[in-house]
Amino acid sequence: MATTSDQPLSLEVSARFIRFLTFQESTHRDLPIPDMSFEERDEAESQLLGLYSKIGDGCYALSRYNCQQAINIFKSLPSSQQNTPFVISRIARAQYESRNLTEAHKEFLSLRKLDPTRLEDMELFSTVLFHLNKEVDLAFLAHEMIDFDWLAPQTWCVVGNSYASQHDHDQAIACFQRAIQLDPRFAYAYSLQGLEHAENEEYDKASFCFIHALQANKRLYHAW
């Protein structure tokens, strides 16, 4: 009988089930067929589907900006799943969207420790560092991002936020423009550039940036 999705999944059973799926999808069929009973496959399949469903629920809540609900769902996952880059990044984003910057900072540090070369979401981490006035940490992150991938739009958002923290708004604007050149649909870069134009009292240019941000992502509340 299949167990419920709330019970811990045996690592041995789940590993064998993954091997079973791999064998099923393999074109060469050169892998040995895992020795699994029907009951074990049923148990593993049920629990994996339950796990995916819970992760999906958390992502949906986050997409609706139900941040605390998303955090609760992600933190209810087994520890082996909570401590993955994807889940930690979702929790960090939810804390950021809730304006719990100290908690977001902790989660992003955990994410960086687990996945130090990660690019995705680093633009948000740089904004957290900006608001927490951690200029040295932000500058260090910017240097690391350039070393990792200087053609990533996230890199130039981080560098732009570093210049913004030093009140060098013109350089920040140039960096955000570079991010937009690399990804014209990167809505967050438009919104950051708009904020810097506002700091320069260039309100027409700021409005232009916010309009483009909303065209790229109508739900980006930073641009409203």
Domains of the chain listed by start with CATH number: 118-224 (1.25.40.10)
- Listing DSSP states for 173-198 in one string gives HHHHHHHHHH-TT-HHHHHHHHHHHH
Determine the distance from the C-alpha atom of residue 143 to the mean position of all C-alpha atoms in its chain, rounded to a whole number. Answer: 20
Q: Could you report the per-residue pLDDT of 196-205, keeping only the tens digit for each?
A: 999 999 999 9
Q: Quote the percentage of the chain above a pLDDT of 90.
A: 70
Structure tokens at 2: 């299949």
pLDDT bucket at 51, cuts 50 / 70 / 90: confident
User: Hey, which of 10-14, 21-25, 45-49, 165-169 has the most confident mean pLDDT?
Assistant: 165-169
* C-alpha distance from residue 135 to each of 38, 124, 129, 165, 206 (Å): 57, 15, 7, 6, 24
Other CB atoms within 10 Å distance of the CB of residue 154: 25
